[in-house]
Structure 1
Amino acid sequence: MDHPVAAPAPRGLLPSPLQELQDDRFTARGLRLWLKRDDLIDPELPGNKWRKLKYNLADARAAGHRTLLTFGGAYSNHIRATAAAGARYGFATIGVIRGDELADRPLNDSLRFAADRGMRLVFVDRTAYRRRAEPEYLAGLAEELGEFFAIPEGGSNPAAVRGCAELPAEIDVPYAAIAVACGTGGTLAGLAAGLPEGREALGFAVLKGDFLTADVAELQRRTYGAATGNWRVETGFHCGGYARSTPELHEFTADFEARHGIAVDEVYVGKMLYGLTELAGQGAFAPGTGIVAVKTG
């Protein structure tokens, strides 16, 4: 939909800075590597969280909604960001959390953050959670909890895709490829749609399985009517699945911080950079290629 209500402004750096990294694993092969510091966009709504929520917030406001409802696991950064956005911009928030067994446990840091920002946490069993996209299930939640503006798990919907599609216009360096970590695929769908001709987007899956290719294509079809052909999903660097790690990944992220003074997480960005470095070492990029890696959080 169009956005008659302007999206609110973040409290950090926008456009986010581009930082060229001097890394011999790339420079020795004639490659240039930039880090797009989307983590600096906003301290509570960093990176793709800001880009994915901005038009959802505008759409909710335009439709007269006062409550946002969304879905996530116990450690979801999207849950945190939605709670922060609601508190800042005047929305009540509800987080539907996967795992009813968590209701009887102390809140972890992520859920405590959300609760402290006023989010109502609703714990559901995993069978119910799998129905989160079904209209009948959403209607039942509305009867139980009151009317709300629904934002899907991870924030990935056409409004989010349009927000992420704005990122490439901020890049003013000579690059041929842009890389991003992928959970639900919304960021990759938007990045690819916003790329100038001749560029390619690489998504590094952080979960097991090969479902993201279909999900990203469907998000592009829902947003623009057709999928673009300028992206692909790399599925070989999930390191065991969501929030899983390996000694190799742990060693890589520690070394990256020592080399560049930039901390990276092992859930999303670390896996993307690890995969990108492995591909560079395998000769996947022609000498002279410029690569932008998006630090989403």
Structure 2
Amino acid sequence: MADTSHLLLPIPHAVALRHGVRLLLWRDDLLYPDLPGNKARKLKYNLLHARAEGHTRLLTFGGAYSNHLAAVAAAGRLYQFATVGLVRGEPHYPLNPTLARCTADGMQLHYLDRNTYRRRAEPAFLAELLRQHGPAYPLPEGGTNVLALRGVAELIGELRQHTDFDAVAVAAGTGGTLAGLALGLAEAAYPARALGVAALKGGGFLQAEVAALLTAASAPPTPCEVHTDYHFGGYAKYSAELVAFIQGFEAQFGVLLDPIYTGKLLFGVLDLIGKGHFASGSTVVAVHTGGLQAWAGWHLAHTQGHA
């Protein structure tokens, strides 16, 4: 196996040092450059299953700046699948950088108004979409299902090759990555807790969502928590405070965070450290899950030189 020690980065932030917490950042965004972050893990076993079932086309859902849509399009190009992306909302031209990248990778884009999009999990509606767009292997929004959990769970073993830890933290959108980490901890009987920082407003539902995913994966019980106070107004919302935090983090540690997921994650983890949520002497690993493609579609990226 390739050496991955360079992916584990110490973050000697003043807040962590003051409270005696060893904070580490796992750079999952660097592991697969063509398919960065948690998306490669969530797609791994889904792609193998799709191939085993004889599928040559993937169909999935996402918003206009979706990391998941971008990842599925890239996976289609890399592994020879045709791809169909069903996008929430009305079309806008020219395409934003995320959707332009999707089409460059061969994805066919179709748009669903928001009311129609809400039906995406209904079996009858999904069957109709599959009839419309040809036989395809359907992937849920965000790529979260039991197979996705299996891919994410492998990260726990990779982390343990490099360090002991008391908690592993990740940004949470659909709860799939958080559930996968919890699954990995449970199956290894490793005494650490999985912690999610909700990236969207009203993220309290994620606790039940993660529990349901773990039940579906037949996971043993494991400590898992969701923190909902760091959404900065909701999914894809941000504030001057968050932007300043991201800028300061990059200046100090040389790591660019994104404004949708990982910026909120590190802000939340450091705030929790400051509030004494982790005992002195603890090791906390935050997972950088990628998402940097989102900067291309944000006007504030231009002010930072990250267009």
Task: Please say if 1:222 is aligned against 2:216.
Answer: yes
Quote how far apart the aligned CAs of 1:43 are.
2.0
Task: Please say if 1:253 is aligned against 2:246.
Answer: yes
Task: Please say if 1:113 is aligned against 2:101.
Answer: yes
Asked if 2 retains the 8 angstrom alpha-carbon contact of 1:32 and 1:288, the reply is yes
Quote how far apart the aligned CAs of 1:14 are.
5.9
- Distance in structure 2 (CA, Å) of the matches to 1:228 and 1:75: 34
> Who is 2:68 aligned against?
78
Per-residue CA deviation, residues 260-287 of structure 1 (Å, 9 max, x unaligned), is 0111111100100000111111111111
Asked if 2 retains the 8 angstrom alpha-carbon contact of 1:13 and 1:41, the reply is no
Quote how far apart the aligned CAs of 1:44 are.
2.8
From 249, 270, 273, the counterpart of 2:266: 273
From 198, 202, 205, the counterpart of 1:205: 198
| Structure 1 stretches lacking a partner, 5+ long | 1-8
Asked if 2 retains the 8 angstrom alpha-carbon contact of 1:205 and 1:238, the reply is yes
Moved over 3 A (4+): 12-16
Per-residue CA deviation, residues 164-219 of structure 1 (Å, 9 max, x unaligned), is 01101011312101100001010000101111432001100000111111111111
Seq. identity, %? 51
> Who is 2:226 aligned against?
233
Task: Please say if 1:166 is aligned against 2:154.
Answer: yes
Identify which range, 235-244 or 245-254, moves more after superposition: 245-254
> Who is 1:153 aligned against?
141
| Structure 2 stretches lacking a partner, 5+ long | 291-307
Quote how far apart the aligned CAs of 1:16 are.
7.2
Quote how far apart the aligned CAs of 1:149 are.
0.1
Which runs of structure 2 are paired with 1:57-206 in the superposition (5 Å)? 57-99=47-89, 101-102=90-91, 104-171=92-159, 172-195=162-185, 196-206=189-199
Quote how far apart the aligned CAs of 1:23 are.
1.7
- Distance in structure 1 (CA, Å) of the matches to 2:19 and 2:40: 34
Computed over aligned residues only, the root mean square deviation of the Cα atoms, in angstroms, reads 1.6
Task: Please say if 1:38 is aligned against 2:28.
Answer: yes
Asked if 2 retains the 8 angstrom alpha-carbon contact of 1:68 and 1:148, the reply is yes
Aligned partner of 1:289: which letter?
S
- Normalising by structure 1, we get a TM-score of 0.92
Aligned partner of 2:257: which letter?
V
Aligned length: 284
Aligned partner of 1:202: which letter?
L
- Distance in structure 2 (CA, Å) of the matches to 1:127 and 1:44: 33
Aligned partner of 1:41: which letter?
L
SS of the aligned residue for 2:119 comes to coil
Quote how far apart the aligned CAs of 1:229 are.
3.5
- Distance in structure 1 (CA, Å) of the matches to 2:78 and 2:34: 10
- Normalising by structure 2, we get a TM-score of 0.89
Asked if 2 retains the 8 angstrom alpha-carbon contact of 1:25 and 1:281, the reply is yes
